[in-house]
Amino acid sequence: MGGYTTKLALRSLRHRLTAFTATFVAVLLGTAVIGSFATLVETATGPISSADAETLTIMGAVVGGWGALIVLFSVASTVGITVTQRDAEIGLLRTIGATARQARRLVRAETLAVCLAASLAGALVASVTGRALLAAVESSGLIDHADYDGGVVSLGITVGGVLLVCLVAAGIAGRRATRGPASVTPGEERADAGRMRWWRVAGAVGLIAYGVSMAIVTVTVTKNSDDPYDAMATSGSNSILVGVGLALLAPVLLRWGSFALRPVLGRRSAEAHLARYNTSRRAHLLAGVLGPVIVLTSSAVGTLMAVGTDGRTLPAGASDDGGTITLLNNVVVGMLSLFAAIMVINAFTAAIAHRRAELRRLWLLGATPTQVERSIMAEAAVVAAVGVALGLIASLATIVPFGIARGEGVVPDGQLWLPPLLVAGVIGLTLGAARGAVRRVARPELARSA
């Protein structure tokens, strides 16, 4: 049965190249980024000074760890989206005799084939970008000199780690797809039914509590440390941790947020009414968009504001680690922004594709394609507004304690223009993703119905 599953998976890939493109791109970019920094770790084992070796090792380890986490969420999201779009197909396989285990094996085989090709391509890219990264680090003065020594070991470990992440993501998506009885009817309401699982709530509470507790430690303990970067160590990642925690609670928070925005939306237009109704009724489906918006806002605002505070308040004669820490912060924010943007675009495309039947019914009831598009854009505006508001709240877990520890207080002394600029960019990305999804999926569907 294993050989038959593999053949079926490969045939499915040939007919679903577009659906698996998002997974391929996410894995390729993740492997390229992680692999580039992994080559720095391998280079650090060569004949270089201990100080340079420590700098390269820290850079590779920090970015590699965050990168693995980001790739896990990104791949899990894209694989889950791809599987969700195939509810009827997987249900049909089960009704004609395939077991839930065999259906999950098919999902794993498809994911492994895509991820293997993407990770190998990403490793080739990393072999080039790794050299460029080392040259950039050397030219910036973070290290004195090092001969590039990255190769098979670092890139091989990177590919193996990414493939492991992909298999974990495929396992999660496969179990979700085969949960419940077999049915050939697409589970249009499945994503919106039921309560949040206990482990998701527990994870959210744990992440938020840890982020808040580390913020308290920053204000009460590391504030008085002789090393100014102790405060960065205890507060730098708090905005990301709290943002991820809030993202886990996205379905509930979206319902609350849409209820709070009712007075803003008004009750006059049909588009506003549909937006209010759908953001509450389809909160679990749209939570796939809200989560990345929260994390993108919280990580970008929190980290970049902390970098600005660090530049203004670093005491004279402090350690020379400032350049390395700033580079690592910028790289982590860049990775988070890239993968969050991919997840927002993929999630909106999948959400609209999942609602083809609903959009067709709206057209049959008299809605024009323009009205359908406006209602979806209004939904996107609600998701964007709730997401950036929650992201800004999460960013305070880094901004406030680090500012207090560095003597600036609760409100930073500079760069107050940065959060509005980043918020505008996130809102633009969300609305742009929604518009693109509508025009790729909804309008052609309504045109065929006409």
142, 171, 187 - which closes a domain: 187
Per the structure block, which two tokens stand in for 420? 């509005």
Let me know whether 340 and 411 are in one domain: yes
| Residues 133, 220 share a domain | no
92-114 in b/e form (b: 16+ CB < 10 A) is: ebbeeebebebbbbbbbbbbbbb
104, 341, 419, 426, 429 from 432: Cα distances, Å:
34, 11, 20, 10, 5
Q: What is the domain range of residue 168?
A: 1-187
CB atoms within 10 A of CB 428: 11
- In terms of domains, do 203 and 148 share one? no
Q: Tokens at residue 410, please?
A: 């609760």
Calpha distance 145→133 (Å, rounded): 13
SS3 407: coil
Stated pTM of the model: 0.81
Report how many domains make up the chain. 2
Give dist(CA 134, CA 146) in Å, integer. 8
Which residue is associated with the tokens 């964007």? 384
The reply to whether 163 and 223 lie within a common domain is no
Tell me: do 221 and 364 sit in the same domain. Answer: yes
**One domain, residues 176 and 203:** no
* Whether residue 307 sits in one domain with residue 197: yes
Residue 110, both tokens: 């498809």
Tens of pLDDT along the chain (450 residues)? 455 566 666 666 666 666 677 778 878 888 888 888 888 888 888 788 887 788 788 877 777 777 767 766 776 677 666 666 666 667 677 777 777 777 778 778 888 888 899 999 999 999 898 888 888 878 777 777 788 877 788 899 889 988 888 888 778 777 776 766 655 555 444 445 456 778 889 989 999 999 999 999 999 888 777 777 788 888 888 998 999 899 989 889 998 888 888 777 666 566 777 777 778 777 777 888 888 899 889 989 998 998 888 888 877 655 556 666 777 777 777 777 777 787 788 777 777 766 777 777 777 777 777 777 888 888 889 999 999 999 999 999 999 999 998 888 888 888 899 999 999 999 999 999 888 877 776 555 555 555
Q: Which of 314, 317, 315 is nearest to 306 (CA)?
A: 314
219 and 133 within one domain: no
Looking at 159, 187, 215, the residue that finishes a domain is: 187
- Domain C-terminal end among 187, 210, 243: 187
176 and 268 part of one domain:
no
Half-sphere exposure of 57 (CA within 13 A, CB side): 10
DSSP letter (8 states) at residue 367:
-
What value does the CA radius of gyration of the chain take, rounded to a whole number of Å? 23
Written as one letter, the residue type at 134 is: L
Residues 6+ apart with CB under 8 A from 139: none
Nearest to 158 by CA among 135, 133, 130, 131: 130
Based on the fold, state whether residues 161 and 269 are members of the same structural domain: no
| Whether residues 371 and 224 fall in one domain | yes
- Phi, psi angles (nearest 5°) of residue 418: -70, -50
Q: Do 257 and 370 share a domain, yes or no? A: yes
Longest dimension (CA), the chain: 73
